Structure 1
Amino acid sequence: MMPLPPLAVPATATAPALRLRPWSAADLKELADVFPLPGVPGEWLAAETRGRAAGERQGFAIRAETAGAAPRLVGHLVLKTPAAGPGEVGYWTAEAARGTGVATRALRALTTHVRDETDLRELRLLHQEDNTASCRVAEKSGYVFSRVLPAFPPAFPRDGHLHVRHLTG
């Protein structure tokens, strides 16, 4: 799949504009502030860069753009594109941005772009069963609950939910 361009999400009456763009070294300091674990920012950027180069994943830094202020990192959105089968989306938001609609607005923008500009016909979204906030984001973004996925420790210690968004019709 061709690399996706940066995406702009317009401001609303209650929320700032968002810019979704590929991760870069310029994001490392803010990423370290969001995830203050030793080594995480550098490892994160290296993994994102490898995945994008291999055409397997396209990760985006989600940055809020408020007039008169520097854009700030508020989350992450990823599109995983296997060689065959449906795509998969995932996201996280910075703690300060949770509950503000960032994930829903960013996911809707990416989903629309994928629907309009790629050959993918289905996207899947997975989250832990107890993550009710992610369930709400999925539903608000048009991803329909499909089924419960059993836990698969150690990587997936809890049951999960699979949501599906069909991009045709």
Structure 2
Amino acid sequence: MPYTAGSVLPAGTLSGTPQPVLRTGDGLLLRPWRAEDAPAVYAAFQDPAMHQWHVRSADCEEEVAGWIEAWRKGWAGERNAQWAVADTDTGELLGRVALRSIDLGDGVAEVAYWTTKAARGRGVAPRATTALTRWALDEIGFHRLELMHATANEASCRVATKAGFTLEGTRRSAALHQDGWHDMHLHARVQGD
């Protein structure tokens, strides 16, 4: 049965070109992941705050190396696109920003991020999220980007707001964390916001 509306973005929109390096213009660089990032990612996941809001833990650098390889391959599959967030001057890894659950046909993706302990409180997450959002909406042509976080994660709510994502509502008991089920805020930005 044919669809009555065309695709927002055609297949190959992402995979047809190399994953870009994005700059925030204020000291951050969003770049594709490298194998040599494994020790820094492993160290980031030893922080208890990461375990509070993320369902994944890292047992060893070899495990993280596998994640990085999957992150690198995600671009070609056009379902996930992940960037390392680094300091432009020093190259220090400060976090990650990503488009997940990409649906090119509908022009929709979910934004996700984390920062290292040393990067928190420095505006890294909102700056990186803003740069990724501008690229996705303005350059690539996504129609809608969604961002979800546990309602108890007030810092993540501030990031969403600073990056221009409108709070649309609460998804009740929508994500299982180590301490049980969490209600999740749903924020979004759409073309023209």
Same fold (TM over 0.5): yes
C-alpha displacement of 1:152: 3.6
Match of 1:82 in 2: 103
Q: Give the TM-score taking structure 2 as reference length.
A: 0.76
Q: Give the AA of the match of 2:152.
A: D
C-alpha displacement of 1:124: 0.4
**Structure with the greater relative contact order (CA < 8 A, sep ≥ 6): 1 or 2?**
2
Match of 2:125 in 1: 103
| Partner-residue secondary structure (3-state), 1:146 | strand
1:124 aligned onto 2:152: no
Match of 1:56 in 2: 79
Q: Percent identical across equivalent pairs?
A: 34
CA-based RMSD:
1.9
**Quick check: 98-107 or 36-45, which moved more?**
36-45
Match of 2:64 in 1: 41
Match of 1:2 in 2: 14
State the alpha-carbon separation in 2 of the partners of residues 115 and 82 from structure 1.
14
| Structure 2 runs not aligned, ≥5 long | 1-12, 47-57
State the alpha-carbon separation in 2 of the partners of residues 124 and 98 from structure 1.
22
Match of 1:14 in 2: none
Q: Give the AA of the match of 1:6.
A: V
Q: Give the TM-score taking structure 1 as reference length.
A: 0.86
Larger radius of gyration: 2
Change (3 A) 1:153 1:21: closer
8 A contact 1:126–1:161 mirrored in 2: yes
| Structure 1 runs not aligned, ≥5 long | 12-16
Q: Give the AA of the match of 1:165.
A: R
